[in-house]
Amino acid sequence: MAARQTENPPSDEHPLHLSPVGPLCKDRAMNAPRAGQPAQPSDLVDVAALVTAYYTREPDPENVDEQVAFGTSGHRGSSLRTSFNEAHILATTQAICEYRRDRGFDGPLFIGRDTHGLSEPAWSTALEVLVANDVTVLVDAADRYTPTPAVSHAILTANRGKVAGVDAMPGGTGLADGIVVTPSHNPPSDGGFKYNPPHGGPADSDATSVIAARANELIRGGLADVRRMPFARARAAVTSYDFLGSYVDDLPSVLDLDAVRSAGVRIGADPLGGAAVDYWGAIAERHRLDLTVVNPLVDATWRFMTLDWDGKIRMDCSSPSAMASLIAQRDTYDVATGNDADADRHGIVTPDAGLMNPNHYLSVAIQYLYGGARPHWREDGFIGKTLVSSSMIDRVAADLGRRLVEVPVGFKWFVPGLLDGSGPFGGEESAGASFLRRDGSVWTTDKDGILLALLASEILARTGMSPSEHYHSLVQRHGEPAYARIDAPANRAEKSKLAALSPDDVTADTLAGEPITAKLTRAPGNDAAIGGLKVVTESAWFAARPSGTEDVYKIYAESFRGADHLAQVQAEARDVVSAALGS
């Protein structure tokens, strides 16, 4: 069983070194031998076999691993594992049609796709069902790829003046919603399918549970109740929408691009072969920025990637291994950025620090935005973070005099605050965030990796300091945390056990020599279940939870008392997880 540990950014001398802390690695390899090295032909997925399996393999409706299941960001799987096949998409799309009809969402549906090999087949299948159900469907005008934030932006633009709040969405008023066909940063063999209701953000469990249950019912019924028409007829019936132009032209409402242009910031943007590939070139041209698209290639095998921590191809822009080629070019640009396949995540590379830890960049972004850069935001606007993000954010929030709202993992929890302006910024440790327009109105309610990547250049342009230099200032003011996340494989049963952890599973009164101040199974910001456990002391914490998007579990830990203390925290956290798994 391989596990990885993601720590604070490594030193310049060892830019890709991920060293183990404590006895974690006694029987586990931290990284695959070729992590960070270029992919070889043997690493590549057979796209033809992948697509063939999509159309030919039939899921067993009684096999839980082959059912439709929505995690924190839609249904994901692989056609080769019979977990993402035509039957899944037929059923899920029909279930979405029925859900939106029952809720009175009678406006258009925006649909976009990323560059994964399974995305276009799934997109085509979805069109056949949507149009057969008399849904007005809007697709990309250039028949190209659409980032997640561009779909969210389109939904909110269409619904402007119609949606007063997340819980105030009357039916029969032309409300639009959307679908994004993407598994985000997952390997090339995976597919993904996520639904965004009229608030523009990820669907909550009140929607996804209904959609998944109905989809599985339709599969068990042999898809008899799925309405479908031939693709040629469906494609001819859809309407074109300029996702790229609408999004790119609107960027000055949320970012000070004039400052970036005037300062001559040299930007390198790597879409990592994902849906942002056309967007970065358009941003450079339309806003006259000194911006180079580092890699404009699109290839469903992702043969140009360096391997991630476990030796797999994964478009994780927060991973030093996956971002190795861009890190190697860090001296070429003032700021270099990467995005995952649907551009809802960001990676920030600076000459002085290499790839920034996402927690570090979120802390800097919050300090900058709330510290005077956005004077038209609400003075009482809170800061949103997931409870596994760094406590540096807590210290920055306290220093700013701003209320901090700590929520479970999942961007859906930030939607209400972004929609009504009460929470101008929401971010999570996995490099996903969004924030309001400069006038305090909503921009997107889903993660926006393009936005956060460009913010790094605005910070440099307006302050004369890189984001990594700003983080160094925060460390001098608030102390330096040691933070790490450990990922390890876990099957469905093991993930269920971890999700059921309770405060009673921690019988000790201390953690790494400090009194325990909280044992949390519900988030303090909204009292929602966290699907795991967080244990807190004055200077440290750990959280254990199953992933909502991959077959792994995660242990997050942080200490403001250094790496040795972090190792103690991790050791005790592993004891809790081992007990829960019965190992």
Q: Locate tokens 């000459």: which residue?
A: 351
Which DSSP symbol is given to 383? E
- Give the whole-angstrom CA distance, residue 385 versus residue 369: 15
Domains of the chain: 47-246 (3.40.120.10), 482-581 (3.30.310.50)
Give, in degrees to the nearest 5, the angle at Cα 183 between 180 and 188. 130
Beta bridge partners of 533: 544
- Asked if 269 and 343 touch (Cβ cutoff 8 Å), the reply is no
The confidence band for 323, taking pLDDT boundaries of 50, 70 and 90, is: very high
End-to-end CA distance of the chain: 13
Please determine, for residue 170, whether its predicted confidence score (pLDDT) is greater than 60: no
Catalytic hit among 79, 184, 389, 559: 184
Please determine, for residue 17, whether its predicted confidence score (pLDDT) is greater than 80: no
CA 65, 68, 69, 75 dihedral sign is positive
pLDDT, residue 9, reads: 36
Residue type, 173: T
The confidence band for 173, taking pLDDT boundaries of 50, 70 and 90, is: confident
Nearest to 20 by CA among 577, 430, 567, 482: 567
Please determine, for residue 169, whether its predicted confidence score (pLDDT) is greater than 80: no
Nearest to 384 by CA among 348, 349, 342, 417: 417
Nearest to 323 by CA among 296, 297, 348, 290: 348
Which DSSP symbol is given to 389? S
Task: Report the residue count for the chain.
Answer: 583
Please determine, for residue 245, whether its predicted confidence score (pLDDT) is greater than 80: yes
pLDDT, residue 457, reads: 98
Please determine, for residue 331, whether its predicted confidence score (pLDDT) is greater than 60: yes
- Asked if 154 and 138 touch (Cβ cutoff 8 Å), the reply is yes
**What is the mean predicted confidence (pLDDT) over 427-455?**
97
The confidence band for 547, taking pLDDT boundaries of 50, 70 and 90, is: confident
Per-residue burial over 548-557, b if 16 or more Cβ lie within 10 Å, else e, is bbbebbbbbb
DSSP readout, 327-353?
HTTGGG-SEEEEE-TTS--EEEEETTT
| Percentage above 90 pLDDT, the chain | 84
For 111-165, what is each residue's pLDDT tens digit?
Answer: 999 999 999 999 999 999 999 999 999 999 999 999 999 999 999 999 998 854 4
Per-residue burial over 469-506, b if 16 or more Cβ lie within 10 Å, else e, is bbbbebeeebeebbbbbbbbebeeebbebbbebeeebb
Backbone angles phi, psi at 303, to 5 degrees: -65, -15
pLDDT, residue 163, reads: 58
Q: Which of 203-212, 295-304, 497-506 has the lowest mean pLDDT?
A: 497-506
pLDDT, residue 45, reads: 98
pTM attached to this predicted model: 0.92
Q: Using DSSP, state whether 544 is helix, strand or coil.
A: strand
Nearest to 456 by CA among 468, 442, 438: 468
Average pLDDT, the chain: 92
pLDDT, residue 490, reads: 84
- Asked if 392 and 41 touch (Cβ cutoff 8 Å), the reply is no
The confidence band for 578, taking pLDDT boundaries of 50, 70 and 90, is: confident
Residue type, 192: G
- Asked if 199 and 419 touch (Cβ cutoff 8 Å), the reply is yes
Nearest to 485 by CA among 531, 554, 534: 554
CB within 8 Å of 466: residues ≥ 6 apart: 334, 335, 350, 351, 352, 353, 456, 459, 460
Q: Using DSSP, state whether 373 is helix, strand or coil.
A: helix
Catalytic residue check, 391: no
Residue 168 neighbours by CB distance under 10 Å: 11
Backbone angles phi, psi at 494, to 5 degrees: -65, -40
- Give the whole-angstrom CA distance, residue 124 versus residue 428: 32
Please determine, for residue 576, whether its predicted confidence score (pLDDT) is greater than 90: no
